[in-house]
Structure 1
């Protein structure tokens, strides 16, 4: 059995410490008050936490949707292309890939991801003709459980665990098989509206061509800053590792988030490929909460 790399071992240790601390974290007064609410007894609006969606970028939020409330997040458009040195060239366009979230209790929400439409094209090579596919994508069901800092005013650290299963509903646009995973996102809030966010995921992905599952991880590190109450900028480093190989594929995401009141925001950004097998991407989306 292959040993984990020193980098991955450090990431595991860094995220394991907050999980251990969460087990001993005291419950503050606001958490105690909000624990009385549930899906059928919504949290009053004056007690709702700030809007903290999982988009944009790869790093998820450790904060859950308040009990009894709903949140809609959508990638209105994603334009993805492979690195110029990668052959054959691949292009993907996704429209309205969205997630609907529902707060179950003060620490838990359930999420339904749907890839509404996807169009793919692979350019021709000397050996293969070009191909095109389009249609409905996969459906993913996720459950998020906050472990620390959901409503705390005493600790700047928040940690969560997210489990998911992806259903192969998308035909050629989907993964081609069931996929499973666990994500551990964490956020640390500094003074002056700075936040550092990290995530360690581990997934059992499916290779359609080889008809087999494999283990994959995509750790990420995100830094964001609120320049104005309505404007936040972010930069994110993402590294993807397939445990069948010894290489890491790296990319940088940058973008801006525009807040419209307390319950809506828009975002726009771009992913820059830092290695040959990483993709380039442009994205735009919005979030609304009720």
Structure 2
């Protein structure tokens, strides 16, 4: 299914010329349907309207690792700015993170500061299969022992389509260049995911998701066990520009975290 959607998107005609920019914002009456990259892992292929800002954040996120370590993220946020009709730029960071393990406690500014550029290639109008490319770079901003002191990056390919019966399907392929402390070198994480969403009642919707991660180590000794992760959650839309969400992720294999709980919100301006 994912391969077919990607081939369809690749064969589509080029996107129409840009009519709006950050300096000539999209009028409110012409804005796209509200869309977010959270709460599931699978990213959205839809971009933010030109000249508008969107904030997506977790009020709190609590994770328990397979080694019984715990991580508390406070207000991890994704701040988006629409650059044009088909392009937005995103800044993701975690103001405070606390990691408790058998080695002690590390806390401070999170290390996962990302700069991402999303380019929609098809279907930004939510009326057909949508496809985008999203390159990103990760900056080592962690304090208090949280940083791995290495720049990382990758490429994300999200796709989405509507199915009969008000079902919505999203999928994603991702390649992450990551530094592995245990191998003292860079490796590649190959990520694939699929998410299925459906309205529950009124403004409330639910989703279920599968995420798989295949680590490919560039250095001897790097962990290479496949990670299988399941996720589920609820969203509540309040008007056209505000959404609340809550959910969980469960790791089933490999070195994936045992569980994670989160609650968050997204607001478009």
1:209, distance to aligned residue in structure 2 (A): 4.1
Residue 91 of structure 2 corresponds to residue 112 of structure 1: yes
SS of the residue corresponding to residue 173 of structure 1 reads coil
Match of 2:11 in 1: 21
Residue 201 (structure 2) pairs with residue 247 (structure 1): no
Contact 1:204 1:213 in 2 (8 A): yes
Please, which of 130, 139, 145 is the counterpart of residue 158 of structure 1?
130
Deviations for 1:20-70, whole angstroms, at most 9, x for unmatched residues?
223x26x6xxx66xx311101111111111111100011000000000100
The structural deviation recorded for 1:151 is: 1.2
Superposition deviation, residue 16 in structure 1: 4.1
CA–CA distance in 2 between the matches of 1:225 and 1:175? 39
- What is the CA distance between 1:99 and its match in structure 2? 1.1
User: Any unmatched runs of 5+ in structure 2?
Assistant: 218-222
C-alpha deviations, 1:177-208, integer Å up to 9, x for none? 10110000000112332101100000101123
Q: Measure the CA separation in 2 of the matches of 1:116 and 1:163.
A: 23
Give the number of aligned pairs.
261
Gaps of 5+ in 1: 1-9, 124-129
Aligned-residue offset at 1:229: 4.0
Q: Which has the higher helix share?
A: 1
Q: Which moved more, 1:269-278 or 1:105-114?
A: 269-278
What is residue 105 of structure 2 aligned with on the other side?
132
- For residue 193 of structure 1, the aligned residue among 146, 158, 166 is 166
SS at match of 1:73: strand
Structure 1-normalised TM-score?
0.85
Task: Kindly indicate whether the alpha-carbon contact (under 8 Å) linking 2:64 and 2:260 is maintained by their aligned counterparts in 1.
Answer: yes
* Shift of residue 247, structure 1, vs aligned partner: 3.0
The aligned residue for residue 142 of structure 1 is: 116
TM-score, with normalisation over the residues of structure 2?
Answer: 0.91
Q: Is the 8 A contact 2:9 2:130 kept in 1?
A: no
The correspondence for 1:258, drawn from 226, 236, 239, is 236
Bigger radius of gyration: 1
> Do 2:233 and 2:245's aligned partners in 1 also have CA atoms closer than 8 Å?
yes
How far 1:176 sits from its partner (Å)? 2.9
Is the contact made by 2:49 and 2:82 (CA closer than 8 Å) also made in structure 1? yes
Q: 2 CA distance for matches of 1:141 and 1:82? A: 26
